[in-house]
Structure 1
Amino acid sequence: MVTITKETIIGDILDIAPQTAPLFMAIGMHCLGCPASRGETVEEACMVHGIDTDELLEELNKQIAAGDAQ
């Protein structure tokens, strides 16, 4: 199982767990296809969008674990 950290690159998350895209969209990260956003870390993206990093990491890892269990 993969664990997402604040240093994980958004593009890498989307590559391994595309089911997380709606979560990013829901918190205001609408530019997921942009090269700049795909190259940001989770921490950088949260800083830009005013999102709590720990809360997002918890939800991302929960979604990925649920996907791995299927």
Structure 2
Amino acid sequence: MKKVTEDMTIAEVLKMDREVAGIFMKYGLHCLGCPGATMESISDAGNVHGIDVSLLIADLNKHFESN
């Protein structure tokens, strides 16, 4: 089973399954193709955008658990 962690980049998770784009967008992370998506961790992106990263990670992992 695939597991998402806070230290992964958005791009890494998108490579695992493009369908998670909607989850990132739900949390206000709309720039999925920008350079930051390939360089900064989900934790860093969440902190910059004021997102509860633990909720985002939980939703992402729920997605992968159901597939």
TM (normalized to structure 1)?
A: 0.86
Name the CA distance, whole Å, in 2 between partners of 1:28 and 1:53: 12
Runs of 4+ deviating beyond 6 Å:
none
Report what 2:61 is aligned to.
Answer: 61
CA RMSD of aligned residues (A): 1.1
Structure 1 residue runs of 5 or longer lacking an equivalent are none
* Matching residue's letter, 1:33: G
Q: Return the TM-score normalized by structure 2.
A: 0.89
- Tell me the amino acid that sits aligned with residue 49 of structure 2: H
Count of residues in correspondence between the two structures: 67
1:16-31 paired onto structure 2 within 5 Å: 16-31=16-31
Identity %: 37
Task: Give unmatched runs, 5+ long, in structure 2.
Answer: none
Cα distance per residue 1:43-67 (max 9 Å; x no partner): 0111011111111111000011112
